[in-house]
């Protein structure tokens, strides 16, 4: 039994997948409420629940499990690729028990809150963007059955009208430093684990396919350096962990910050390793060398396209030859492993543009980059790209299969040629 039940996005996958925000929310609420966190994929993996091959059956299995916990409020994390499953599960719960209040949070519902309320009547509230400052107030009000329509940050429906007042107080670097998570249960941590630390939020860039600036805003925020070091040390003390994943869309936007980060790790000789995501144009050889010396073991680089033209069209604006030079430096002179990521089938992309991408991928392979990802463009709501093509969109089940990881180039070419590049070119 519990009062508040937090449900992670369900991917029907064996991979351990969770989102840090749910643990932050659990930490905030557990001081007052009896809170439980559910990750159905993990439950299936460890045999606590068994998925079937049928979607409807799985919704029933998950819905019944949620109902059996007798929660007063169920809070779902929402992300694009699991959103339909989330909606179906929430609907099932509402059909069985109208007294359970349902709230959504996370990136996807934050952007499509209006469409959610216009189409579904089983959602009581949608928390837009970051929720630390108001989640407890929202739950208090829900428990007391008070009006929530004037609470900033929360969208809801009252008298048939959608209410939403923007939360103007986004967390500062200092605020962010106060939200550190060490309890990731039911996931277990050991010396071998990689420990997730939120680095911060917001990205100053505005790529046309990406929702990060819509969701977190363009104000780049990073946790105070001391806070990150304390998190690393505490995780090391608690679990013996030495390996860290810094979660931030664009960790390296502030060069001075990263230099200080690296110098501290080098000088303190803790032999920690870490990884992050960044843009190649925020790196230079000196910075790369500092990162390497400080234990950076891998970097995720969104290169997106090998076409100069597309770099402009998608407002990514990377200088590709410069990028290749730095990538070669990383491969030849450091221990840092690279994952490079590309998108194909972007609006306005031509076959010639795509050939440039394949050429760059080939070039990267030859230079020693072994981890190369190719993602099919997914029109995410709230992006400039989706606005561009919204009138040309139609539903195609196949298009939900959006990521091709590390398959050989010939295979990629075949898939793509018969897939949507040709579609786009002929439409």
Cα gap 28→386, rounded to integer Å:
35
The closest residue (CB) to ligand B12 is 21
Which of the ranges 48-56, 93-101, 125-133, 413-421 carries the binding residues for ligand B12, by CB under 6 A? 125-133
Nearer to ligand SF4, 85 or 278 (CB): 278
Burial of 3 (0-12, 13-18, 19+ CB in 10 A): middle
Residue 250 touches which of ligand B12, ligand SF4, none (Cβ within 5-8 Å per kind): ligand SF4
Q: How far is the CB of 244 from ligand B12 (least distance, A)?
A: 12
> Is 143 an interacting residue with respect to ligand B12 (CB under 6 A)?
no
Q: Which of 40, 215, 290, 354 binds ligand B12 (CB under 6 A)?
A: 215
Residues 6+ apart with CB under 8 A from 179: 24, 27, 132, 171, 198
> Is 75 an interacting residue with respect to ligand B12 (CB under 6 A)?
yes
**Are the CB atoms for 196 and 204 separated by under 8 Å?**
no
> Is 153 an interacting residue with respect to ligand B12 (CB under 6 A)?
no
Which of the ranges 17-25, 87-95, 282-290, 330-338 carries the binding residues for ligand B12, by CB under 6 A? 17-25
**Are the CB atoms for 307 and 356 separated by under 8 Å?**
yes
> Is 38 an interacting residue with respect to ligand B12 (CB under 6 A)?
no
Give the single-character DSSP code of 316: -
Cα gap 358→351, rounded to integer Å:
10
**Are the CB atoms for 379 and 211 separated by under 8 Å?**
no
Which of the ranges 98-106, 185-193, 225-233, 291-299 carries the binding residues for ligand B12, by CB under 6 A? 98-106
C-alpha dihedral sign at 405, 409, 415, 419: positive
Nearer to ligand B12, 172 or 333 (CB): 172
Site string for ligand B12, 176-205 (x = CB under 6 A): --------------------x-x-------
Burial of 146 (0-12, 13-18, 19+ CB in 10 A): exposed
Query: From the CA atom positions of the chain, what is the Rg in Å?
Result: 22
Q: Which of 249, 349, 356, 385 binds ligand SF4 (CB under 6 A)?
A: 249
Strands 221-222, 243-247: parallel, antiparallel or unpaired by DSSP? unpaired
Residue 141 touches which of ligand B12, ligand SF4, none (Cβ within 5-8 Å per kind): none
What DSSP assignment string belongs to 105-132?
A: ESHHHHHSHHHHHHH-S---EEE-S--T
Tell me which residues in 291-310 interact with ligand SF4 (CB under 6 A).
Answer: 302
Q: How far is the CB of 209 from ligand SF4 (least distance, A)?
A: 7
Identify which of 256, 300, 259 has the alpha carbon closest to the alpha carbon of residue 278. Answer: 300
> Is 127 an interacting residue with respect to ligand B12 (CB under 6 A)?
yes
> Is 314 an interacting residue with respect to ligand SF4 (CB under 6 A)?
no
Residues that bind ligand B12 (CB under 6 A): 6, 11, 17-22, 24-25, 75-77, 79-81, 103, 105-108, 111, 127, 130-132, 135, 196, 198, 210-212, 215-216, 247, 249, 375, 380, 402-403
């Amino acid at each position: 039994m519990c009062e508040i039940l937090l449900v992670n996005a369900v991917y029907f996958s064996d991979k351990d997948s969770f989102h840090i925000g749910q643990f932050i929310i659990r930490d905030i609420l557990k001081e007052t409420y009896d809170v439980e966190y559910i990750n159905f994929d993990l439950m299936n993996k460890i045999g606590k629940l068994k998925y079937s091959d049928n979607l409807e059956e799985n919704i029933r299995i998950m819905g019944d499990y949620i109902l059996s916990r007798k929660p007063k409020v169920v809070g779902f994390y929402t992300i694009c690729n699991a959103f339909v499953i989330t909606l179906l599960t929430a609907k099932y719960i509402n059909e069985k028990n109208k007294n359970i209040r349902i709230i959504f949070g996370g990136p996807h519902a934050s952007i499509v809150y209006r469409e959610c309320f216009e189409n579904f009547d089983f959602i009581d509230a949608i928390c837009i963007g970051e929720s630390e400052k108001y989640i407890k107030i929202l739950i208090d009000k829900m428990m007391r059955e008070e009006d929530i329509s004037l609470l900033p940050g929360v969208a809801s429906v009252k008298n048939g009208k959608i209410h939403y007042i923007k939360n103007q107080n986004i967390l500062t670097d200092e605020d962010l430093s106060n939200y550190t998570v060490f309890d990731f249960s039911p996931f277990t941590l050991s010396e071998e684990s990689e420990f997730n630390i939120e680095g911060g939020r917001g990205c100053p860039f505005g790529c046309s396919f990406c929702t990060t600036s819509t969701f977190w805003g363009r104000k780049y925020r990073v946790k105070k350096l001391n806070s990150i070091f304390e998190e690393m040390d505490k995780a090391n003390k608690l679990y013996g962990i030495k390996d860290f994943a810094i979660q931030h869309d664009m960790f390296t936007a502030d060069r001075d910050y990263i230099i200080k980060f690296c110098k501290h790790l080098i000088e303190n000789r803790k032999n920690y390793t870490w990884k992050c995501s960044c843009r190649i144009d925020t790196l230079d050889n000196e910075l790369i060398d500092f990162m390497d010396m400080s234990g950076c073991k891998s970097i995720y680089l969104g290169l997106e396209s090998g076409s100069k033209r597309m770099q402009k069209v998608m407002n990514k604006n990377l200088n590709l030859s410069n990028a290749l030079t730095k990538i070669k430096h990383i491969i030849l002179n450091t221990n840092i492993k690279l994952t490079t990521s590309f998108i194909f089938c972007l609006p306005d992309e031509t076959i010639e543009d795509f050939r440039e991408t394949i050429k760059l991928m080939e070039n990267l392979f030859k230079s020693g980059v072994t981890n190369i990802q190719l993602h099919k463009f997914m029109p995410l709501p709230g992006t400039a790209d989706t606005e561009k093509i919204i009138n040309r969109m139609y539903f195609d089940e196949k298009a939900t299969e959006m990521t091709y990881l590390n398959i050989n180039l010939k295979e990629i070419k075949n898939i793509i040629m018969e897939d949507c590049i040709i579609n786009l070119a002929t439409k």
